[in-house]
Chains A and B, each alone.
Chain A
Amino acid sequence: MATTAQNIEKDLTDLWKSSPEDKTKNLGLQRVYTTNLVAYAADHEEGFRVEQILNDLAEKHPGRYILIRPAADSTETPLRHYVSGHCFFGGKEKKVCCDLIKLVAQREVIENLYGFTFSLLMPDLPVEFWWPGNLPYQNVFFDKMAGQANRVWVDSSKFKDPLQSLARLSAFWHSRYPHTLLGDLNWIRIQRWRSLIAELFDGEWAKHLKDVNRISVAFGEGSQPTRSFFLACWLAAQLGWVYKGNRISEFPEKLDFEGPNGKVEVILKPVPVKDAKRDRIFAVGLTTGGGNSGMFTVVRDEDPHSVTARSEFNQKVSFSRVVSFEHLHSNQLLDVGLKHLEPDAVWRKTLHLMGTVMEKPDLTPLEQK
């Protein structure tokens, strides 16, 4: 059957029409849509992974999901579609279902597929566009979707050259796509770290923030410390520090800032790790100078599911607690991200600050490239 919006709708209707013998089983079947999510997968393998993630996500955010991927081979038909239903049990007997439309197309067709994609969306619901792989330099589909969607999700841990890509995002996103929010799953990955650090400075402890003069972030060696860099730039942005070093094109071991009370140095320290998740942060320490020498740390425990948050003054522990720590998978990261539709001002501020640290990107307009 040819791939037209009408045929896809018809397939979806057929999908949900219960066959006579299903009648009792499907009693109480409900289709629920809370969002639109369009995802692009660069190849078959990524398509498989993305489909799995969407399947898991559907339970938390039932919606109209569209997955687009290029055809594996140029002899395939220019565009074909598959529809599938995703159901889960909500409550005792009721099933809740939403649908996934998969479009497989030749690359040149994808370039012009955004209009068709939009025609398949549920009206009135937000449009989220997820680009799970490397940030493209020039891609018409990405560009058009980014211009139209409510929000674009990238994952900077998948960028081949994170500093360059982040520098570009920082430099052009808000001018090029003024109405589209930008989300980064890698930024959500450090959210738990942010809250663990933040809670060390609640109440009367907040007064020590102005005295912070050194930060060290330990990360798994042999990888790009993108998350550690995020964390450092977040602290700098929130605490009003200004970058004083040379612009960087590779992750350095040390970054120099000027804080309200003088110099602040940030150390990004690789540590040997056993597991493959090398970009992971292992420990964060903030040291304060001034009259009171304090040390605020959040450190992973032996148990991979817990961390210890602690503060010390003049080598005396004043606060220490163990809390659970979960590693979030991509579907959970998206889940957290999709919950909030409003702009994330802190992320925007952090990205802006990163733009003052990183080498300025080549911003030749995309069309001229």
Chain B
Amino acid sequence: MAAPILLENPLRQGLFADRVPAPCSLVIYGASGDLTHRKLVPALFDLYEKHLLPASFSLIGISRSKISDDDFKKGLKEALKQSEPQLSDSLWNSFSQNFHYIAGGYDDFKAYQALSVMLDKVDQENGTAGNRIFYLSTPPNVFENIISNLGAAGLAKEEKGFSRVVIEKPFGHDLESAQDLNRKVKEVFKERQIYRIDHYLGKETVQNLLVMRFANSIFEPIWDRRYVDHIQITASEDLGVGGRAGYYESSGILRDMFQNHLFQVMSLVAMEPPVAFEANAIRDEKLKILKSIRPFNEHTVYQWAVRGQYGPGFLAGEKVPGYRQEEGVNPQSNTASFAALKIFLDTWRWHGVPFLLRSGKRLPKRTTEVAIQFKEPPNLLFKNNVSDLAPNVLVIRIQPDEGITIKFETKVPGMTMEVRTVNMDFRYGTSFAEGTSEAYERLLLDCMLGDATLFIRGDEVEAAWDALMPVLNNWETTEPENDFPNYEAGTWGPAEADNLLEKPWRKWRRL
């Protein structure tokens, strides 16, 4: 691993932005695509503006489209102007001066040889010191091809500098294909060279989960089965499938949201304190959680998993089509656009505490949060005044409006003893006017720095698939119990999701 630059350059010391990576080249496969234009290059530009991009940096875009270096840059500039309308020519020219493009098929070995030559040349001219990152931003069906060709061209070797590969989601389609992909990647790259992206982990509030839990002493003592009644994790979207119908029809909500994002957030909420704030120590603890998920069996797959698909409805007063009416969707499709799972973790800490996970498309709004619902206090003192005391809830909002809310009971001012629930709010946006960075900005920077904490390790991916397979298999081989569509667009999902709650005092949160 390259030494942090700070050690070598004494002038870096004490500069507040001292997480500057060593010089390197970034090679993007699928560079003509949406992700590169909309996310990756804007994230690189933000890093550049913040002086976090190494001064010696070059970007090489590769895809099949036959375009020139100039056209490639022109396309990127136009896309960047969407988020940076003030972008000046001189700034853009300076930022993009070491951007290059190679047109080539992903299975065309000559293109890899050409890349190798170009990388050497760039090292010579720009001082990128033999450090390379290969970012796979293509559809997953060509990942294997690219990786084996990189290996054959000798580009995975770390002779002069580092060589890392970033793999976009989805990582596999099921357990078998994920294992297969892991095997193929590991034939070429060592695990420490592999950076599997889950952009949820790049979000500031997801990282804040760790700080909240392990930099405070008031939460951890009550963070277990003795005090927690259940935990709800919600990731809702108001959008439908839009232009991604082709992908969505073959993936569905479980692959799109649960296997990666929701399981990752759950493992950060549930894991034991790691022994160090270090990539492998944290990933070891997350892995234990994923492995502790109680396996779904032929009974629980019906009791603990609920699927749904939206029909036509209204969002913000506007009529929207149902899933089966979306362009590119089979009119008889049984693909789930909503899922709710009840998960039990067989660990000492969480024994008997349900984790209720739900996610769906065309729900009333876009929001992601974790809500820890504590047990009800015994109502001995105030039973003459209030029938039920509301349990305390700690809500960690991941998006939008990142922050933390604690719900607690308080006395209403006056001569009588009335109790009312109030919220105490902490909002990132107000206590720190600093905007939180885009997830891709953080992840690209971490990868350049060689910090894999916010990336997923191979065994984590497999454990997550393993836990999900019984539900996936069941849903793909059986008809839904209630005919699809079973929820109206613009509502919080099918009523069956309430069956997971089990106890009268548990309710899905109205968000």
Residues of A that sit less than 8 Å from B by CB: 30, 32, 34, 59-62, 90-91, 94, 96, 191, 194-206, 209, 235, 238-239, 301, 303, 306, 309, 318-324, 336, 339-340, 344-347
- CA–CA, A324 and B45, complex, Å: 12
Checking A30, A196, A322 against B91 with a beta-carbon cut-off of 8 angstroms, the contacting residue is A322
B211 at the interface (CB under 8 A from A): no
Neighbouring A residues of B129 by C-beta, 8 Å:
203-204
Q: A195-B51, A347-B14 are in contact. Are A30 and B430 (CB under 8 A)?
A: yes
List the one stretch of B16-24, B191-199, B213-221, B477-485 in contact with chain A: B16-24
- CA–CA, A94 and B183, complex, Å: 51
Neighbouring A residues of B51 by C-beta, 8 Å:
195-196, 199, 323
- CA–CA, A199 and B55, complex, Å: 6
Checking A32, A195, A203, A322 against B56 with a beta-carbon cut-off of 8 angstroms, the contacting residue is A203
The answer to whether A324 and B91 touch across the interface, beta carbons within 8 angstroms, is yes
Can you list, as one digit per residue, whether each of B476-509 has a CB less than 8 Å from chain A (1) or not (0)?
0000000000000000000000000000000000
The answer to whether B94 and A322 touch across the interface, beta carbons within 8 angstroms, is yes
The answer to whether B10 and A203 touch across the interface, beta carbons within 8 angstroms, is no
The answer to whether B14 and A60 touch across the interface, beta carbons within 8 angstroms, is no
Checking B8, B91, B430, B433 against A203 with a beta-carbon cut-off of 8 angstroms, the contacting residue is B8
The answer to whether A91 and B401 touch across the interface, beta carbons within 8 angstroms, is yes
Q: A34-B431, A323-B51 are in contact. Are A202 and B14 (CB under 8 A)?
A: no
The answer to whether A238 and B11 touch across the interface, beta carbons within 8 angstroms, is yes
Checking A60, A201, A203, A319 against B434 with a beta-carbon cut-off of 8 angstroms, the contacting residue is A60
Can you list, as one digit per residue, whether each of B349-385 has a CB less than 8 Å from chain A (1) or not (0)?
0000000000000000000000000000000000000
- CA–CA, A59 and B435, complex, Å: 12
Of listed A197, A204, A320, residue having the most chain B CB within 10 A: A204
Closest residue of A by beta carbon distance from B95: A321
- CA–CA, A336 and B384, complex, Å: 54
Neighbouring B residues of A205 by C-beta, 8 Å:
9, 127
Neighbouring A residues of B127 by C-beta, 8 Å:
203-205, 318-319
Checking B11, B49, B97, B431 against A321 with a beta-carbon cut-off of 8 angstroms, the contacting residue is B97
- CA–CA, A62 and B428, complex, Å: 12
Of listed A30, A59, A322, residue having the most chain B CB within 10 A: A322
Neighbouring B residues of A198 by C-beta, 8 Å:
9, 11-12, 15
The answer to whether A202 and B23 touch across the interface, beta carbons within 8 angstroms, is yes
**B93 to nearest A CB, angstroms?**
7
Q: A30-B425, A202-B55, A203-B23 are in contact. Are A91 and B430 (CB under 8 A)?
A: yes
B240 at the interface (CB under 8 A from A): no
Q: Contacts A62-B431, A202-B5 known; list 18 others, CB within 8 Å.
A: A32-B430, A60-B433, A91-B427, A195-B17, A195-B51, A199-B20, A201-B11, A204-B23, A209-B9, A209-B10, A318-B127, A319-B56, A319-B127, A320-B94, A321-B55, A323-B49, A339-B434, A345-B13
B429 at the interface (CB under 8 A from A): yes
The answer to whether A206 and B8 touch across the interface, beta carbons within 8 angstroms, is yes
User: Which residues of chain B from 28 to 64 have a CB within 8 Å of any chain A CB?
Assistant: 48-49, 51, 54-56
- CA–CA, A61 and B433, complex, Å: 7
Neighbouring B residues of A340 by C-beta, 8 Å:
16
The answer to whether B93 and A322 touch across the interface, beta carbons within 8 angstroms, is yes
- CA–CA, A101 and B104, complex, Å: 66
The answer to whether A194 and B15 touch across the interface, beta carbons within 8 angstroms, is yes
Q: A91-B430, A198-B15 are in contact. Are A203 and B54 (CB under 8 A)?
A: yes
**B41 to nearest A CB, angstroms?**
17
- CA–CA, A309 and B90, complex, Å: 13
- CA–CA, A312 and B95, complex, Å: 19
Neighbouring A residues of B97 by C-beta, 8 Å:
321
Q: A60-B433, A199-B51, A204-B129 are in contact. Are A238 and B13 (CB under 8 A)?
A: yes
Can you list, as one digit per residue, whether each of B388-426 has a CB less than 8 Å from chain A (1) or not (0)?
000000000000010000000000000000000000010
Q: A198-B11, A323-B51 are in contact. Are A96 and B16 (CB under 8 A)?
A: no
The answer to whether B23 and A336 touch across the interface, beta carbons within 8 angstroms, is no
- Give the top 3 A-B pairs by smallest Cβ distance, nearest first: A346-B14, A90-B430, A198-B11
The answer to whether A345 and B14 touch across the interface, beta carbons within 8 angstroms, is yes
- CA–CA, A194 and B51, complex, Å: 11
